[in-house]
Amino acid sequence: ADQQIVKLNQRGVLTLPSSIRKSYNLKPGDTLSVVDLGGALILTPHRFEVDKLADRLRASWKVLG
């Protein structure tokens, strides 16, 4: 795995290296998922199934509410 160092600024913003942004075709405004594995963070451009399920539940509740 390719390891790169990023720095967290005072407001909690991370800047991803341009090589990673290009590799994953990330654009400003794109949403990423962060998973805390208790000592390791995983940052992924892919939405997890649980995120998609939560969206469907929210939409259902709006229809019922």
| Per-residue CA distances from 11 to 4, 24, 25, 65 (Å) | 21, 25, 25, 37
Task: Name the percent of the chain lying above pLDDT 70.
Answer: 91
pLDDT category of residue 65 using cuts at 50, 70 and 90: low
What average pLDDT does the segment 5-25 reach? 92
What pTM was computed for the model?
0.62
Give SS3 for 7: coil
Question: Does residue 49 register a pLDDT over 80?
Answer: no
Scan for tokens 């390891």, then name that residue: 3
Residue 64 has pLDDT above 90, yes or no: no
Mean pLDDT of the chain: 84
Q: Which residue has the tokens 């451009």?
A: 45
